Amino acid sequence: GNSVTQMEGPVTLSEEAFLTINCTYTATGYPSLFWYVQYPGEGLQLLLKATKADDKGSNKGFEATYRKETTSFHLEKGSVQVSDSAVYFCAPSYSSASKIIFGSGTRLSIRP
């Protein structure tokens, strides 16, 4: 079945460090790709998305590029802030299934 694998956490970085959280998905069909974020005490919210190959999603300084050839959607940010501390979920959504397959989540902690 469809699945997603994302980098295990927790990840701890210093402020202004470069961030990469890896994510790969199974290539069945042609999914839309999402990154969702869950800040402490808050609900899940969409961070960014890409719906076709080579699309780049971006928001709040985060970016991810839809790589069909490597079935990947890695999340990157050039300079993280303390306020980026949260749990990040990579989530392919297969149109035939209409449900999001969530990765296991990566907890990110940023030190001042």
Where on the chain is the footprint of another protein (CB under 8 A)? 31-32, 34, 36, 42-46, 49, 51, 89, 93-105
Nearer to another protein, 90 or 110 (CB): 90
Q: How far is the CB of 54 from another protein (least distance, A)?
A: 16
The residues that bridge with 19 in the sheet, in sequence order, are 77
Nearest distance from C-beta of residue 110 to another protein, angstroms: 22
CA nearest neighbour of 82 among 12, 34, 8: 12
Q: Which is nearer to another protein, 60 or 111 (CB)?
A: 60
| SS3 (DSSP) at 83 | helix
Shortest approach of another protein to residue 85 CB, angstroms? 18
Residue 8 CA: distances (Å) to CA of 28, 69, 73, 84, 90: 23, 23, 15, 17, 11
